Amino acid sequence: MTASMIPGFVRHDIDVNGPRLSVHLGGEGPPLLLLHGYPQTHATWQRIAPALAARFSCVIPDLPGYGDSAAPADDPDAAAPPMSKRAIAGRMLALMAGLGHDRFHVLGHDRGARVAYRLALDAPQAVARLGIIEVIPTGEMWRAYDADMALKSYHWTFLAQPAPLPERMIGADPEGYVDWTLRSWTQAGDLSAFAPEALASYRAQARDPARIHAMCEDYRAGAGFDRALDDADRAAGRTIAAPVHFVWSEGGFPARTGDPMGLWRAWAPRLTGGSVPAGHFAQEEAPDAVLAAYLPFFTEG
């Protein structure tokens, strides 16, 4: 147990259904699980977590292979690849149960949002309310992949290439790659949105070859296993039972589809949502707008 960079939070190392997870705990009230995206860590929640902790018991892990959480070993024989959203969602479910939370709210951004909605589909009894920031379902994203989307989100195909091609290319200049990625996805086109300690944590994990590999495995799962699950769910007409509040950024990826709410409506019958003035990293670029969207939503639940 050590201090967290998030004010009022404490970091714990927790073993659950796999290698060690680094988890930041803080606040009181109904449980709320926050899941970060790529290429980030728990630090992405630094600007909104203290306000959420005033009303909720917040659980903020580094996803497996990110931040200070251990990277799982590759397992080609596993029913679900260790970096697939199903496998990670199962670990998040076990984490919350181990903390005494059988039913809870979830808020996810980017890759964490994909884990979040897979958790809601696979364990509907556990998810009370679901917040989604800046993604559309994985299968829908691939179907929306036209030339303009491909140029903006080239990393979907680059990171999914067979090992070790992307790992070697990123490893040649890991901090340069992370800075380029972060900068190019913000509305301002620079790094001003990121707190210095958060930016340091994003750069630090990029210097670790094991974490670079885990991130690539995350996207390889997205291109194969995760996409196949989404397509099967869509064909079967499965939907998310929980109320869903979806926030997308005016300068982000879902906005480029032309109808992000429409794409989610087929998956989430109890859907609300709206846009915020930001690039892809809404909770860091426009924290007040994100809090204004989600505090009422989760408080109502």
Residue 232 neighbours by CB under 8 Å, 6+ apart:
none
24 catalytic per annotation: no
State the sign of the Cα–Cα–Cα–Cα dihedral 42, 47, 51, 54.
positive
DSSP string for 122-184: H-TTTEEEEEEES---HHHHHHT--HHHHHHTTHHHHTTSPTTHHHHHHHTSHHHHHHHHHHH
Q: Which residue in the list 110, 179, 218, 226 is annotated as catalytic? A: 110
How far is the C-alpha of 136 from the C-alpha of 263, rounded, in Å?
Answer: 7
Residue 296 neighbours by CB under 8 Å, 6+ apart:
none
Report CA-CA distances (Å) from 264 to 174, 191, 240. 34, 30, 10
280 catalytic per annotation: yes
Cβ–Cβ < 8 Å for 249, 282: yes
- Residues marked active site are found at 110, 280
